[in-house]
Amino acid sequence: MMTLTQRKIEILQAFEKAQSIAFAPFVFQAVVAAKESGLLQALGESETALSIDALAQKTKLSQYAVTVLCDILAASEVIECDENHAYRLSRVGECLIYDRMTEVNFDFSDRVNYAPLKHTLEALKTGRAAGLKEYDANWQTIYPHLKDLPKDSRKAWFAFDHFHSDSAYQAALNILKTRPVRYFVDIGGNTGRFTKKALATWPESRACIVDLPEQIELMRQNPDLKSLQDRIDTVPINWLDPDAQPLIKEKVDLIWMSQFLDCFSRAEAVSILKRVKNLARQNGATVAILEPLVDHQRNRAATLSIACSSLYFSCLANGNSKFFSSEELQGIINESGLVVESVHEPIGVGHSLYICG
Ligand SMILES: C[S@@+](CC[C@H](N)C(=O)[O-])C[C@H]1O[C@@H](n2cnc3c(N)ncnc32)[C@H](O)[C@@H]1O
């Protein structure tokens, strides 16, 4: 039985957590302002705690502005105040400016999702990416328009996508590299970052990137792939057309999909995987699927990040997809008729690699 004191502590903790949710946008925008004005960086670079005056001088903000920010940042434990009313970064503040994963997640929230998230309920009720109208009222899904996003948003989108998948590519290739691969297909290959690493892993191999025509055009312009372009074929496709089936002229050894199936509803993902299975069967190819799974993360911070990121799919990407749980992904694979040979996890920051026959 809980004592009265324990019960009071529990209620106070719940109350505190509830207020941090009620005021989450205020805290978030205060951190945006503190990063953009250089306030957090000034604290990070200083060996001693800094006064309001010193921070005002360093950031060129008024004392009023610095005080408003410091009150919020101290209350939300981003900074700490000492007995002389001087401030230093807390561990949370250090994560916010020194940890790359926190940085890409933060910029993705700020520069890609912040305004669109206001349309969450509409998106969830209609199954449409209702937040996209913050960019352009005529856009149906985000993927053909990545190139049309404002520069800051585009940079944050690619940094988020690349950070999370890059960390897993090498680990996945270390598992796959003993297989003889002469020709592989990178479905949803985007700007070709996996393809580049895989071409280095199998130096005699060639690749085929299968993606929307807009992405293939971006990939062809990618300076990182300049010397590799003649080893890369492309097949433009829109998988949302239920009859679309990529025509690959070579014999395929490996079909790779990273952070791709999560761009589709369950029914669409099953339909795509059935078509992929046909391609795999015709060639005797292995299918490798890399996904972050919401219930297979290393810690609560990672689980929260993956669960929250699903709202990006609802509000911006397409209105009907999410990061899967292990049960959901396994169900999709089973329904497609593919058979899972092995599962490897955790891979990179928090991915799971499903190898299917
Ligand atoms: C989230 S990105 C993943 C990129 C990359 N594979 C990675 O691991 O970071 C999803 C990719 O799927 C592609 N895609 C989304 N919808 C598509 C569709 N309807 N048809 C073809 N490709 C699509 C996008 O263009 C994009 O390149």
Global ipTM: 0.99
The CATH fold assigned to 4-98 is Arc Repressor Mutant, subunit A (1.10.10)
Rounded distance between C-alpha atoms, residue 234 and residue 201, angstroms: 20
pLDDT at 357 over 90: no
Nearest ligand 1 atom to the CA of 143 is 25
Average pLDDT, the chain: 96
Identify the CATH class of 102-356: alpha beta
Nearest ligand 1 atom to the CA of 257 is 6
Query: What integer pLDDT is reported at residue 349 of this predicted model?
Result: 85
Using a 6 Å cutoff on CB, does residue 259 contact ligand 1? yes
Using a 6 Å cutoff on CB, does residue 140 contact ligand 1? no
Best of 260, 272, 276 for a ligand 1 pocket test (most atoms within 8 Å of beta carbon) = 260
Using a 6 Å cutoff on CB, does residue 313 contact ligand 1? no
pTM of the entire structure? 0.92
Summarised one tens digit per residue, pLDDT across range 293-336 is 999 999 999 999 999 999 999 999 999 999 999 999 999 999 99
Query: What integer pLDDT is reported at residue 188 of this predicted model?
Result: 97
Residue with tokens 């499903």: 354
Give the rounded distance of the alpha carbon of 34 from its chain centre. 24
Summarised one tens digit per residue, pLDDT across range 242-252 is 999 999 999 99
Q: How far is the CA of 187 from the centre of ligand 1 (A)?
A: 7
Rounded distance between C-alpha atoms, residue 232 and residue 280, angstroms: 19
Using a 6 Å cutoff on CB, does residue 312 contact ligand 1? no
Summarised one tens digit per residue, pLDDT across range 176-193 is 999 999 999 999 999 999
Q: How far is the CA of 290 from the centre of ligand 1 (A)?
A: 13
Q: Whose CA is nearest to atom 1 of ligand 1?
A: 259
Domains of the chain by residue range = 4-98, 102-356
Tokens of 21: 């949710």
Q: Whose CA is nearest to atom 4 of ligand 1?
A: 190
Using a 6 Å cutoff on CB, does residue 353 contact ligand 1? no
Number of H helices, E strands in the chain: 14, 9
pLDDT at 230 over 90: yes
Give the rounded distance of the alpha carbon of 88 from its chain centre. 30
Q: How far is the CA of 307 from the centre of ligand 1 (A)?
A: 19
Contact criterion met (CB below 8 Å) for 33 and 62 = no
